[in-house]
A and B are shown apart, each in its own frame.
Chain A
């Protein structure tokens, strides 16, 4: 179990990621900012799942279920979103 300080560290990183995300948006980096925003969000989410939700210390089966869910969400997005640009 990480120390209290570690959780505070994760918190600071999360706030920093939020800050970067805002900077990216407000600086108008063009079409890339959308992708960058989502990548930063994904990074924050991974931090929350891995540390705050204790997945790091959890059994393998929980990790498997967490990854599995992401895979099924990716299936929904990749196959579903493929429809519109190729019509």
Chain B
């Protein structure tokens, strides 16, 4: 049926070459996935370091290590790096790259050279942002609101804007590549409704990437031209409207939130089935809810602007649409939960990450309704309530799933098993550390502590100290995998084809997969998630 491990196993993609050139200029989707994994890990720790400093500084209401200006630069760096250089590329560019061709039975993406180019563009863009950071920082916040960013900011807005602008091309090209790949490279018999839900979700993400990112490009271009050439576009002195900037920015940035979280949904569907050993509950409903979220995501951007001078009527329309988008999200949560029913649930580290995700995502989603409700948002917007809400979704949701995916597919990517116990401990630490960090922030927001505040009224100190304590747990939990995963590269047990006993084409080829993925093109005759696995491709040690 497919390429099983044979007497003389084909060379894996890792052994395809050992020179730097073979890594940096290889068009192999798996190699590029590894390049992304390494580079976004670096960005994650830069952004994380900024977050750590921010939490440290907020231990005291009066500030004790940073000036106001330094603090503002820190949260900008945290936002810019985490949003554009970690969250957006995280799951799609690493796991999407690695898995999509394999999951649909293809040898590579449709445009391998474009894929390599995306990575180089991404790194080049990162250089601009790091440069902005090194030569003195940017103090606009990640939103670059006009007219502050165009006329008043004393930071290095230009290199930062250029960096984000360039990274957009990487996002667009990756999205384009995925869309074409899913349409055109599916193996014989791999119909749309036999695709793993991972592919559906990444496909929906790609649509958002392709349609939303160019609007950001234009917006940043206008900011750039206003700052460099003095061409006012949002300048109130000329009758320009700063709210127009916000419309254009959020037309991109709200859908971008779904670029960040849809891939987490993608991973969830894989994890829940693999560790429940059961067919997913409501396959089509989950598939279509991904597309619905991608589409509806474009209809709600105005909910960021309820108090920004937007029309009240338009605000109400955006509000009701924002409530609507909760429905497909809730459906997914119900279906993942129902997938466990009548299954054989095991609690390996990836599953713990997945269960943690449901908990954090549900809280994040429900608090989203508070800020989508116009009348409530007037008080909550721009406070720590919003900060907590989106960190629950972005960090609690996406980052948990990113780590879940990393643990789940690590054996496939490297051929080695990581030590199980540290993995489980880290999953638990992330969940509880996260709750401790961000739960107090909901209360802070409710009490009226505005976001981006370096100095704050002293009565907020206790809650801020709790939050910082949680952050220190998170710092440890996010760093620990670096060590035990690195250890496993050399000393880990060999993984074999299918260490989890999971379904899916990627578990039918050797770990790490050969350069060509499949010796012969697989012909798919089964539905997605055919649990319990009938003709068991059981986990077995390969005989090397």
Contact = CB atoms under 8 A, between A and B. Distances in A.
Direct contact between A and B in the complex (CB less than 8 angstroms)? yes
Interface of A: 61, 69, 72, 75-76, 79-80, 82-84, 86-87
A80 B313 contact: no
The DSSP consensus for interface residues of chain A is helix
B473 interface: no
A83 B302 contact: yes
23 contacts: A61-B183, A72-B298, A75-B298, A76-B215, A76-B251, A76-B298, A79-B301, A79-B318, A80-B247, A82-B311, A82-B313, A82-B314, A82-B317, A83-B243, A83-B247, A83-B302, A83-B310, A83-B314, A86-B311, A86-B312, A86-B313, A86-B314, A87-B311
B466 interface: no
Interface string B161-185: 0000000000000000000000100
B205 to A, nearest CB: 15
Which size class do B's interface residues fall under? 10 to 19
A59 B96 CA distance: 27
Contacts of A79: 299, 301-302, 314, 317-318
Most buried by A among B183, B243, B311: B311
B211 interface: yes
Interface of B: 183, 211, 215, 243, 247, 251, 298-299, 301-302, 309-314, 317-318
A49 B503 CA distance: 44
A82 B299 CA distance: 13
A59 B312 CA distance: 43
A80 B311 contact: no
B295 to A, nearest CB: 9
Contacts of B299: 75, 79
Nearest to B215: A76
Nearest to A76: B251
B311 A83 contact: yes
Contacts of B211: 69, 72
A76 B302 CA distance: 11
B63 to A, nearest CB: 38
Nearest to A65: B179
Given A79-B318, A82-B311, 4 more contacts: A83-B302, A83-B310, A87-B309, A87-B310
Contacts of B298: 72, 75-76
A-B residue pairs, 9 tightest by C-beta: A86-B311, A87-B311, A86-B313, A83-B314, A83-B311, A80-B247, A82-B314, A72-B211, A75-B298
A61 B186 CA distance: 15
Nearest to A87: B311
B159 to A, nearest CB: 28
Contacts of A84: 311
A84 B211 CA distance: 24
A80 B244 CA distance: 9
A76 to B, nearest CB: 6
Contacts of A83: 243, 247, 302, 310-311, 314
A55 to B, nearest CB: 17
Nearest to A80: B247
A11 B247 CA distance: 38
A79 to B, nearest CB: 7
B322 to A, nearest CB: 12
A1 to B, nearest CB: 23
A82 B315 CA distance: 10
A82 B313 CA distance: 9
Contacts of A72: 211, 298
Contacts of A80: 247, 251
A87 B310 CA distance: 7
Contacts of A87: 309-311
A87 B244 CA distance: 13
Nearest to B184: A61
A83 B318 CA distance: 11
A47 B214 CA distance: 25
Contacts of B251: 76, 80
Nearest to A69: B211
A76 B249 CA distance: 12
Contacts of B310: 83, 87
A81 to B, nearest CB: 9
Nearest to A84: B311
A64 to B, nearest CB: 10
A74 B312 CA distance: 21
Nearest to A61: B183
Nearest to A72: B211
A87 B211 CA distance: 28
Contacts of A69: 211
Contacts of A75: 298-299
B363 to A, nearest CB: 29
Most buried by B among A76, A82, A83, A87: A83
A61 B184 CA distance: 11
A83 B311 CA distance: 5
A79 B321 CA distance: 12
A66 to B, nearest CB: 13
A61 B317 CA distance: 31
A74 B112 CA distance: 33
B247 to A, nearest CB: 5
A84 B313 CA distance: 11
A75 B310 CA distance: 17
Contacts of B318: 79
Contacts of B247: 80, 83
A65 to B, nearest CB: 9
A82 B301 CA distance: 13
B307 to A, nearest CB: 13
A73 B362 CA distance: 32
Contacts of B301: 79
Contacts of B183: 61
Most buried by B among A69, A79, A80, A82: A79
